[in-house]
Structure 1
C-alpha cells in the first residue's frame, strides 16, 4: 500500500513542479509572438496544463488497458477544473470574481456544456447498440475532434472582435529568446509526459491496494493529479490580477479534455472506448455540464453576496455538485 501511494505521490510532485515551467515558458512564447492574453489562457496555457491528461489517457488505453482510468481522468479533470472556481471565489476577497470576468467566457463555457454533455450521452447510448465504427475506431471519435476545433474556431473569431484594452502582461525577462522559450517549453512537456504516462499504473496500484474501483480512482485521484498544473496556474494568474487568463485556462482545459477523449478512443485497440467503461461516468459528464451551466449563470447574473463571508452561492452550488457526483461515482462505478 505504501509503495502504491509513493508512486502516485511522486507523479503528483513531478507534475506539480513541471507544470509551472510549462506555463511560464508558454506565456513567454505568447508574449514574444504577440498573442493576446485571452488567447494565452484558452490555447497556450490550457494546452500546456492539459498535457498530463493527454499522456495519461493514451497510456491508460494503449499500455495499461485501463479505459476507466482514461475516461475518469478526462471527465474528472473537467469537474476538478470547474470546482477550482470555488477557490477563485474564496481568494477574490476585494470583489466577487464573477464581477471581474469578461462575459466572452460564456462562449467557451457554452461549448463546454455541449461537448461534455455529448460525451455523457455517448456513454449511455453506445452500449445500447449505437456502436458505429470502422475497424477499432469509433465514428464518434472524429466527431469529438471536429467539435473541439469548431469551438476553437469560434473562440478565435470572437477574440478578433474589438475588445476593451486589457492589462499588459509582465515584460519578458532580458535575454529570453523565442527559441529558448520553445526549448524549455518542450523539455517541461516531456517531463510532464513521463509522469503522466506512469499515472494510470500508479492509479491502478492505488485502486488495488485500497480495494477501490478504478472508475472512482480515475475520476477523483488521477484527475486531481493531472489537474495540478491548472490549479497552480489559476491561483498564480488570479494573484497577478489576470482573472480572465485563469478562467480561460480552466475552460480551455475542459474543451481539451474532450479532445483527449476522442484521441483515447482512437488509441484504444479493444474497440469503442465507450462500450468498455462504466456507465457511471455519465454522472460525471452530466455533472460537468451542470457546473458549466452554473458558471454561465454566474457570468450573466454576477452575484455579489457571500455565505460565511468568503463563498458565494455560485461557489457553494459548484462544490455541492462536485461532491455529489464524486460520491455517486464511488458508489456505482467499477
Structure 2
C-alpha cells in the first residue's frame, strides 16, 4: 500500500467509526424511549381499573376521581420529568416543553375518542361540568404563556429566584380543585358507581393504584435523560424534543387511562382525567420553576414554547364551545368539526415547533 493510500485509509477510518458510534447512540436512545413508553402505557389500564373501584368504595363521582386521583397519577411523568430535567439534567426546555406539549397532546386525545365513538359525537355525551375545568385550564395555561413571553423580554419580574406568576399558578390550581369539588357537590353528582368488581376492597384498590403510579413515576424520572440522548443523537433542539417526543411519552398514561375508562363505561372519568391533567401540568411548571435554582425557569426556557401554550388555550376554547353548542354533525361519519379544529391547531403548533427546533 502506498503512502498516499495509507493516508487516505487513515482519513476514512475515523469517519466509519464515528458513523457507527452515531448509529449506536441513535439505536440506544430510541430503545430507551420505547422502554419508557411501554412502562408508562402498561400502568394505564391498572390506574383506570383501580380508580373506578376507589370511586365505588368511597362514593365519590367518577368525574371527581378522574379530575383529582387519575389526573394526578397520570401526570406523575410530567412532574418527575420536569423536576429531574431542571435539577439533574439541566434541561429547562425539556421540562417546559414536556408540560405544555402534554397539554396539547391531552386535548388531541379527544379527537381519538370522537373517532372511536361510532354512535355520534363524543362531545354530545360529555357532562357540561367539564366546562369549569377547561375554563380554568385556559386561565392557567394563559398565565404560563405570559410568563414565557415576559421571561424572554427585559421586563421579567421575579419573586426570589422564581417567576412572579409561579405563586399565582399554585393558588389557581388549588382554587380550581376546590371549585370543581363544590360544583360536583352542588349538583349531587357524587354517588355509587356500580359494576366494577365489588369484591375488591378499598385497601387493595389503593395498593394497586399506588403500585401503578410507582411504575409511571419511575419511567418519568428516566425520560428527560432519554430526551436529551435523542436530541444529541438526532441533532434536534431540546425545544422540539421536549414538546413532541417526551410530551407524547409522558402523555401515554392519559391516553391509555382514558381509553380504559371509556371501555368501563366511565366517559366522564376519562375526560376529567385529560382536563385535570392539564391543570396539574401547570402546577408541575410551578414546581419546576421552584426546583430550578439558577433563576426563573420561564426566563431560561425558549420563548417558542409560548406557541404551544397558545395552542393549548385555543384548543381548550374549542372544547368549551363544543360542550356548550353540542355539535352533532360528523364528516364522513367519523369525526365532527370540533375534532377537525383540534387536529388542525395541534398539527400547526407541532409544525411551528418543529421548524424552530430543527
The equivalent of 2:282 in structure 1 is: 258
The equivalent of 1:79 in structure 2 is: 104
The 8 Å contact of residues 61 and 193 in structure 2, kept in 1 or not, is answered as no
1:31 counterpart (39, 56, 59)? 56
Question: 2-side partners of 1:89 and 1:306: how far apart?
Answer: 10
1:140 aligns with 2:183: no
Question: 2-side partners of 1:246 and 1:185: how far apart?
Answer: 16
Deviations 1:295-329, CA, capped at 9 Å, x for gaps: 01111111111112201111001000000000111
1:274 aligns with 2:294: no
The 8 Å contact of residues 281 and 333 in structure 1, kept in 2 or not, is answered as no
- SS of aligned partner of 2:119: coil
1:234 aligns with 2:258: yes
Question: 1-side partners of 2:302 and 2:109: how far apart?
Answer: 26
Question: 2-side partners of 1:185 and 1:242: how far apart?
Answer: 17
The equivalent of 1:216 in structure 2 is: 240
Which stretch has the larger CA shift, 316-325 or 240-249?
240-249
Residue 102 of structure 1: how far off its partner (Å): 1.2
Paired residues for 1:15-54 under 5 Å: 15-54=40-79
1:99 aligns with 2:124: yes
Residue 19 of structure 1: how far off its partner (Å): 2.7
The 8 Å contact of residues 23 and 49 in structure 1, kept in 2 or not, is answered as no
1:10 aligns with 2:29: no
Residue 115 of structure 1: how far off its partner (Å): 0.8
Question: 1-side partners of 2:190 and 2:216: how far apart?
Answer: 34
The 8 Å contact of residues 48 and 261 in structure 2, kept in 1 or not, is answered as no
- SS of aligned partner of 1:275: helix
1:296 aligns with 2:324: no
Question: 1-side partners of 2:186 and 2:244: how far apart?
Answer: 38
Change (3 A) 1:166 1:319: farther
1:181 aligns with 2:200: no
The 8 Å contact of residues 45 and 260 in structure 2, kept in 1 or not, is answered as no
The equivalent of 1:119 in structure 2 is: 144
- SS of aligned partner of 1:160: helix
The equivalent of 2:115 in structure 1 is: 90
The 8 Å contact of residues 148 and 298 in structure 2, kept in 1 or not, is answered as yes
Residue 166 of structure 1: how far off its partner (Å): 7.8
1:67 aligns with 2:92: yes
Gaps of 5+ in 2: 1-25
The 8 Å contact of residues 278 and 333 in structure 1, kept in 2 or not, is answered as no
Question: 1-side partners of 2:176 and 2:33: how far apart?
Answer: 34
The equivalent of 2:7 in structure 1 is: none
Residue 245 of structure 1: how far off its partner (Å): 1.4
The equivalent of 2:223 in structure 1 is: 199
The 8 Å contact of residues 31 and 172 in structure 1, kept in 2 or not, is answered as no
Gaps of 5+ in 1: none
Which stretch has the larger CA shift, 277-286 or 235-244?
235-244
Which stretch has the larger CA shift, 15-24 or 291-300?
15-24
- SS of aligned partner of 1:195: helix
Question: 1-side partners of 2:55 and 2:190: how far apart?
Answer: 17
CA RMSD in angstroms comes to 1.7
Question: 2-side partners of 1:19 and 1:53: how far apart?
Answer: 15
Question: 2-side partners of 1:272 and 1:326: how far apart?
Answer: 25
Question: 2-side partners of 1:119 and 1:44: how far apart?
Answer: 23
Q: Which has the larger radius of gyration?
A: 2
* TM-score normalized by the length of structure 2: 0.89
